Structure 1
Amino acid sequence: MRLGLLHERAWLGDLLALGSGLLTVVAFAPYSIAPLAVIGPALLFLSWLEATPRRMAWRGYLFGLGLFGFGVSWITSGLSLFGAHMQALALPLASVFVLVLALYPGIMGWVASRFAGLSAALRLILIWPALWTAFEWLRGTLFTGFPWLLLGDSQVASAPGGFAPVLGDYGVSWLVATLAGLLVCIVACRRAILRIGAAAMVLVLWFGVGALRAVDWTHPTGAPMRVSVVQGNVPQQTKWRPETFMRTLTRYRDLTRAHWDSRLIVWPESAIPALYRQVAGDYLDPLAAEAASHGSALMVGLFVKRGKKIYNAVASLGAAAPEFYFKHHLVPFGEYMPFKHLLGWLYRRMDVPMSGLSPGHGGYTVQAAGQTVDVSICYEDAYGDIVIRGLPQASLLVNVSDDAWFGDSLEPAQHMQIGRMRALETGRYLLRAANTGISGIVGPKGEVLALADQDRTEVLTAEVRPMGGATPYVRLGNTPVIALVFGVVLLGWFAGRLINRSGNHRGQES
């Protein structure tokens, strides 16, 4: 498509931007066509060339509408389960959520327009990819953050994912956005040397970073151990009803007893929809003793009350005294209610069990089956900087979740893909237990060792190795890549100002 045509018929560029957002979603699970994570942003960059600042902002916003309108459509499913009164509000509230999220790429488009003084090649290869990464980080950080649909996550099984143990998820996003800029340069840069150089850089980056997958950043520290992940498959609509409570407890106990040959058995988030003290004496204590007699340990999702505060927790049970991990990063509106003085009318319509939780305190690990285990609950595993807080001391990762809130939508598959990225970043095995799926056991290269079908009662079993050592990402976190991308943006801004001043000076002399 000629750039002049996009300029002459602005609606074509607008349509291209919207379509590129929709296309980018297909790069992520469950579709997992990873190259589209390069092609989607490339089409957006193409629509930006020769566009006005206002048009660039608008096209960035359209891209965001496509990306989030399709990619996080599962928000509607979650809201509709918050009570009968919320069903009518689910679509409007989800729409507002998408409209707000789309502001990030929209503002990014406006900021990208501020670098018009630089050559197209510099903008495509350096400035715009750095801006992309900076705005992904801002979206994952501001207002508690929403680090979902990061370009890096789509590459967990592809060559660019080899960069994850070095600079993490955001580093992979930067690489993918750079590849997108290079792709546009191949077709749009005017000088042949730039087009040839861009094509060469695509090959070097793709295969060079892909070779990093062969590097073993971590190492086994013990013998293989058998582990199991229990997917109880308790429907969200009935999970919290008193009449189904004993049935749920019986299901998890029976599924567990069939796998006492596993050293560690993990249950999902809130597998027990009750407080620890309500089930400890008659249920959990005998089960823990039974586990210890078989040389096993349990990790169980439930709730713990300390004083007046209630925590979303994981209990580690076995031969020793119980240990607890309390969820640190809570989900707004699901686990706590922000802006109560403004949104009291909304909360009164919502029926969310255990929605008045407190953020956790203390460490990020528990002891289980003779291992130090790094624990995250549900949405926490979307934050790489949270997961690495228990490392390198921990030898295993465990994530427990309850994606039943989102039914048969895109969310469970996307969430499983995010979990795989955490394993790849840290060089650790991951045990992921989700109530209705998708549960899985993942290797230290992000590879799936065992996967449960969604909406099925199932127990996954595999052998894993305790791992030691630390990847560069574990040691350094997100700081290097974020400092670098903002540094590139600042240097580009100063360079653009110098070029503009030089041009104005020559104009005055002439």
Structure 2
Amino acid sequence: MTTLDRDETHAPAAPTRPVVTGRPLPLRVAAPLAVAAGLALLVAFPPYGVWPLAPVGVALLAAATHRRRLRAGAGLGFLTGVALFAPLLAWTNLHTGYLPWVLLSLLQAGYLALLGAATAWVSPLVDRVRWSWPVLTGLLWVGQETLRDRTPFGGFPWGRLAFSQDTSPLLRLASLGGAPLVTFAVALLGGLLVTAAWHTWTTLRPTTLTHPSGTGSTTGPADTAPPVDTATATGSSARRWAPVAVPAALAVALTAGALLVPVAAAGSGATVTVAIVQGNVPRLGLDFNAQRQAVLNNHVDATLELAARVAAGQHDQPDLVVWPENSSDIDPLRNPTAGARISQAADTVRAPILVGAVLLGPGAGQVRNAGILWRPGTGADLDQLYTKRHPVPFAEYVPLRDVARMVSKQVDLIRNDFVPGSTPGVVRVGPAVLGDVICFEVAYDEVVRDTVTGGAQLLVVQTNNATFDVAEARQQLAMVRLRAVEHGRPALMASTVGVSGFVAPDGRVSDATGFNTREVVVRQLRLDDGRTLATRLGWWPEVALAALAAAALVGAAVVRRRQRIMPG
């Protein structure tokens, strides 16, 4: 029997199975891309506000981490996170020292490290189906934010992609699915950009087939063959440019199409006149608390001046006056002098005042950050009192104090822990129902949504920016703009030092004040009782998108396992 005859007696070899493979970008390229991704994301947020750079940053990170090992993907994501969060959160070190800023920035960067690892993990899915890249990118970003917004100690949602889009057409999507949908859309655009830009996104590597006899092997083209751009190999100009042109066109169409989402320019209900009093503080910094009486006096005096202008016909009579968070750090329910001064202001202006106050109790060593309605003639209305539901860990209370003290004894500067409230901030003020949220609570979806489902017609954000700077204030105002669009409600932000202002249901800002100034602004607002699709759907868009992100991770695991057990 000839050699040929012997070979033909064996079973035929299994057919060659092309496996989509390829190399990641060189690390010397990927690392700078990861840093550039963080900086692009940073510039998308206020005070810079170049919102188109948000999807660019997403695209750069996706490109840097594609096809990498998990640890490398995590490292690159961490670089992006540090480049983003360290400068974005720089306002946290202005008066508290570097340690809180460093720890918070590194913690937030850790979530982008998880995102980088997840992006690397799903690379086999992207390589199998190129057009899945934009959707997978959007899902993973929503999944990362879902986790970061809730962990640890209730999470810290600052720096969500959605909050960079306050002047973008994509902001209108908030009325359909809230902040999660806006984040998904931004990341989807980034995925489209990286899909368009990735020219060597696939190569075909034929599997080496071992001869059944075990004595030899047959192979297709060598594994070391240079990558082949499949689009270019067709020789057709149209097909060569389609992988670039189609995703880019879809990105433009999605952005422009968001302008078609209907949002109300104003409320559709009754009209009320609202005044914001920005009393200012003697000096910025943590020691503004040492000037508590001066801060209260500033807000009382500014309100008395408003009353004089109303009496002179220079302003309409307000139906409501809003003071910011910490406008009375002296408990007006226990301090007769403080209570008398607030009553003087309310009686003179002839309108109820929503006062941001620090209240003692309920237990020893405990305090509450509250918004309390102070009515002319009758004083404090204890039935219309909102206690902040989401105090800030390590700023308003210290979790695990004994452990935290080992890191820094500065935690003991917080002598009294703020205790959380248990009910949404629905405050009824005669002609209006307010949705009161305090300071950082505006970043939390459910805190704001609960006020609207509870009947709020006007969103009110009471805040104190005296320990921060104008960048933090403008970042917070961007969140107020998103909430107004999300729930189709007029909104306002009242700050001790600025920025204060009114926001229409379509996100437009009016009468914005300067920073570190004393100002009073008055505006007529139309209330609204309707509910947007985002309000009706609640948290379900986020649940669905996060669940799909988890499914994508599981799907990538299946693909990776199949690749490992393939013959050859």
Shift of 1:327: 0.6
C-alpha distance in structure 2 between counterparts of 1:76 and 1:167, whole Å: 34
The alignment partner of 2:306 has SS state of coil
2:494 to 427, 433, 440: 433
Q: Deviation of residue 285 (structure 1)? A: 5.0
1:264 counterpart = 2:325 = no
Counterpart of 2:360 (choices 305, 322, 342) is 305
Instruction: Give ranges in structure 1 of 5+ residues lacking alignment.
Output: 80-89
Indicate yes or no: 2:98 matched with 1:99.
Answer: no
Pairs within 5 Å for 1:45-56 = 45-56=62-73
Give secondary structure in 1 for the equivalent of 2:437: strand
Letter in 2 for 1:124: W
Report the equivalent of 1:154.
164
Distance 2:116 2:292 in 1: 51
Hey, what's the Cα distance between the residues in 2 that align with 1:388 and 1:51? 39
Residue 449 (structure 1) aligned with residue 510 (structure 2): yes
Q: Give, in angstroms, the shift of residue 451 of structure 1.
A: 0.7
Q: Deviations over 1:93-125 (max 9, x none)?
A: 422322222111111111222223223424521
**What residue in structure 1 maps to residue 295 of structure 2?**
248
Distance in 1 separating the partners of 2:53 and 2:524: 34
Structure 1 residue 349 displacement after superposition: 3.5
Written as runs of structure 1 = structure 2, the 5 A alignment for 1:282-297 is 282-285=337-340, 287-288=342-343, 291=346, 295-297=350-352
Equivalent in the alignment of 1:394: 456
Partner of 2:427: 366
**Partners of 1:59 and 1:379 in 2: how far apart?**
29
User: Mean Cα displacement is larger for which, 287-296 or 392-401?
Assistant: 287-296
Equivalent residues in 2 for 1:302-381 (5 A)? 302-308=357-363, 309-319=366-376, 322=381, 323-344=384-405, 348-350=409-411, 352=413, 355-381=416-442
The AA in structure 2 aligned to 1:72 is: L
Q: Does 1:180 align with 2:190?
A: yes
Comparing 158-167 with 319-328, greater Cα deviation is found at 319-328
> Is 1:465 matched with 2:526?
yes
Q: Which moved more, 1:314-323 or 1:471-480?
A: 314-323
Whole-angstrom CA distance in 1 between matches of 2:267 and 2:463: 27
- Displacement, 1:448? 0.5
Alignment match, 1:83: none
In 2, Cα distance between equivalents of 1:435 and 1:156: 22
Counterpart residue number, 1:132: 141
Mind listing any 5+ residue stretches in structure 2 that lack a counterpart? Answer: 1-21, 200-228, 232-238, 308-316
Q: Are residues 68 and 355 of structure 1, via their aligned partners in 2, closer, same or farther at CA, if it must alter by over 3 Å?
A: farther
State how far apart, in whole Å, the 2-side matches of 1:499 and 1:331 are. Answer: 41
Q: Against the structure 1 CA distance between its residues 203 and 341, is the aligned structure 2 distance closer, same or farther, given a 3 Å change threshold? A: same
SS of aligned partner of 1:102? helix
Distance 1:26 1:266 in 2: 32
Match of 1:195 among 227, 238, 244: 244
After superposition, the Cα gap between the structure-2 partners of 1:284 and 1:33, relative to the gap in structure 1 and judged at 3 Å, is: same
Look up the SS of the partner of 1:467 in the other structure: coil
Three-state SS of the structure 1 residue aligned to 2:25 is helix
Partner of 2:34: 17
1:5 CA displacement: 10
Confirm or deny that 1:210 pairs with 2:271.
Answer: no
Instruction: State the match for 1:142 in structure 2.
Output: 151
Offset of 1:294 from its aligned partner?
5.2
Whether 1:77 and 2:77 are equivalent positions in the alignment is no
Report the alpha carbon displacement of residue 489 of structure 1 after superposing the two structures with TM: 4.0
Q: Which amino acid aligns with 1:247?
A: A
The separation in 1 between residues aligned to 2:560 and 2:286, in whole angstroms, is 62
Task: Find the aligned partners of 1:137 and 1:96 in 2 and give their Cα distance.
Answer: 20
Aligned to 1:85: none
Q: Aligned to 1:227, which of 263, 275, 288?
A: 275
1:329-354 per-position Cα deviation (integer Å, ceiling 9, x unaligned): 00111111111121235675456466
* Sequence identity percentage: 26
- In structure 2, relative to structure 1, the CA distance for the partners of 1:48 and 1:117 (3 Å cut) is same
> 1:95/1:305 Cα in 2 relative to 1: closer, same or farther (>3 Å)?
closer
Q: CA RMSD in A?
A: 2.6
Amino acid at match of 2:437: S
Name the CA distance, whole Å, in 2 between partners of 1:382 and 1:355. Answer: 24
Residues 288 and 444 of structure 1: CA distance in aligned 2, closer, same or farther (over 3 Å): farther
1:82 aligned partner: none
TM-score (norm 1): 0.88
Whether the aligned pair in 1 keeps the contact of 2:43 and 2:53 (CA below 8 Å) is yes
Question: Which residue identity lines up with residue 394 of structure 1 in the other structure?
Answer: A
SS of alignment partner, residue 522 of structure 2: strand
Flag the 1:237–1:48 CA change in 2: closer, same or farther, 3 A.
Answer: closer
Give the C-alpha shift of residue 306 in structure 1: 4.2
The one-letter code matched in structure 1 to 2:278 is V
Per-residue CA deviations over 1:221-241 (Å, capped at 9, x if unaligned) read: 102424333342342454322
CA distance in 2, matches of 1:63, 1:488: 20
Offset of 1:195 from its aligned partner?
2.9
